[in-house]
Structure 1
Amino acid sequence: MTSTKPAITIRGYRPSDRDDLADICVRTAHAGEDATGRYAEPEIFPAIFATPYAELEPELVFVADNGERAIGYILGTADSTRFYADFRDRWLPTVADRFPAPTPPVTGQDDGLRYLLHHAEDMLVPEIAAEYPAHLHIDLLPEGQRQGLGRRLMETFVNALRERGVPALHLSMNPANTNARAFYDRIGFTELPRPAGKKDVDYLGMRL
């Protein structure tokens, strides 16, 4: 008798998903590959790119659930300007002691991540956020890739933004992640002008 795997479902975030979100984030943080062993503190990645969204805007966090655990997620904010203000005022104080700001001069990738945690507002591009106020992050473990889950997660997130009357969203990405770029192109994102001083980052946008 052949056993069948349970269907993967897309559902809203639960507090019990927090550890899975962090694990997925670390295992996809290096241009889509595992950051473990490549950084001194890979656990800083979810402290910047995953957990604050679950804490500050959990209604815009959705996971792909394989019946046992989350194997992927999409998360973000409807208002990037507000989010980064809340990040500094409400989220940073909860993790600042665990990841202290680096002592200047900031050198190397690990110091750079600590700096980014303490200056997350540097990721805000006002001219983009004014026209494309929402932004997102989406990550899937290898076992969840190439099954249409990325598109399902994106449709769920976009529908949630439309229900809130959000006009457009954007994302930033490492140009080295060519697989992710191909996915975004397929689902309707277009390249935005790169702001001055933002080297080695691509910005993509979608109108809703």
Structure 2
Amino acid sequence: MSAIRPYRPSDREAVDEICVRTGASGTDATGLYSDDSLLPDIFAEPYLAYQPELAFVVDTGDHVAGYVIGVSDTAAFADWYKREWRAGFAERHPLDTAATDAERELIRYGLSYGDRLVPELGDYPAHLHIDLLPELQGQGFGRRLIRRLLAELEERGVSAVHLGVSATNTSARAFYNRLGFHELPSSTPEGPSLGIATDALI
């Protein structure tokens, strides 16, 4: 029976795989870039390294098939990323070896992470990423994962959380709308930014 539990270091490969298999606006990005580690090296690995206690997974009993990861202080995480993560990322993913324009753009995003934070950070200091394999979607696990993370953040005194969503990922946007996420003032059609209070009843 599938259950939500805290992340363990042994879940790392599964989290990376889920990140890739949902990395193309919710669909499988395997093989989309010359190195499948590129997506998790931006959107999963640094979170697991920085604040693993804010990572939760859905364990089916056979494997991990979903996760939510987050940080409680985005500004502090961005400083850490630039200081501790960026140089290694640049070595692992040289910009001049990018196979496509899309890959080059994604590497540039990884290299510049932390340079462009949402203006509402004072009110929405935390942020999160959530991904579920198709086998878990539509069963309420997304809501339960976010509820678990929100409760953990509220316990730490964090008042609200934000996230970014791809403009082309309409199913994810509908999911967040159902949970009560709202657009932040800085949100744009090309780069939606959403937020929610950690004490929201979702």
| Length-normalised TM-score, structure 2 | 0.91
Which residue is equivalent to 2:21?
27
AA aligned to 2:62 is: E
What are the Cα deviations for residues 60-93 of structure 1, in whole angstroms up to 9, with x where unaligned?
0000000122100000111110111111112223
After the TM superposition, which segments of 4 or more aligned residues of structure 1 sit over 4 Å from their partners? none
Which residue is equivalent to 1:74?
68
Structure 1 residue 118, shift from structure 2 partner: 1.4
AA aligned to 2:191 is: V
Structure 1 residue 42, shift from structure 2 partner: 3.2
Pairing 1:124–2:114 present = no
Which residue is equivalent to 2:39?
45
Pairing 1:153–2:145 present = yes
CA RMSD of aligned residues (A): 1.6
Structure 1 residue 94, shift from structure 2 partner: 3.4
Match of 1:64 among 58, 63, 77: 58
Q: How does 1:132-171 map to 2 (within 5 A)?
A: 132-171=124-163
Give the whole-Å Cα distance in 2 for the aligned partners of 1:194 and 1:19. Answer: 34
Structure 1 residue 9, shift from structure 2 partner: 0.8
Q: Is residue 77–residue 135 contact of structure 1 (8 Å, CA) maintained in 2? A: yes
Q: Is residue 89–residue 111 contact of structure 2 (8 Å, CA) maintained in 1? A: no
Structure 1 residue 46, shift from structure 2 partner: 0.2
- Unpaired segments ≥5 residues, structure 1: 1-6
Give the whole-Å Cα distance in 2 for the aligned partners of 1:134 and 1:11. Answer: 20
* Structure whose alpha-carbon radius of gyration is higher: 1
Give the whole-Å Cα distance in 1 for the aligned partners of 2:185 and 2:127. Answer: 16
AA aligned to 2:197 is: R
3-state SS of 2:161 partner:
strand
Q: Is residue 167–residue 189 contact of structure 2 (8 Å, CA) maintained in 1? A: no
Which residue is equivalent to 1:207?
197
Structure 1 residue 134, shift from structure 2 partner: 0.5
Give the whole-Å Cα distance in 1 for the aligned partners of 2:111 and 2:175. Answer: 31
3-state SS of 1:113 partner:
helix
Percent sequence identity over aligned pairs: 45
Q: Is residue 26–residue 34 contact of structure 1 (8 Å, CA) maintained in 2? A: yes
Structure 1 residue 176, shift from structure 2 partner: 1.1
3-state SS of 2:92 partner:
coil
Which residue is equivalent to 1:115?
108
What are the Cα deviations for residues 3-40 of structure 1, in whole angstroms up to 9, with x where unaligned?
xxxx1110111000110011000000100001123223
Aligned length: 196
Give the whole-Å Cα distance in 1 for the aligned partners of 2:17 and 2:116. Answer: 23
Give the whole-Å Cα distance in 2 for the aligned partners of 1:205 and 1:148. Answer: 20
Structure 1 residue 102, shift from structure 2 partner: 4.1
Give the whole-Å Cα distance in 2 for the aligned partners of 1:157 and 1:173. Answer: 18
Give the whole-Å Cα distance in 2 for the aligned partners of 1:117 and 1:133. Answer: 20
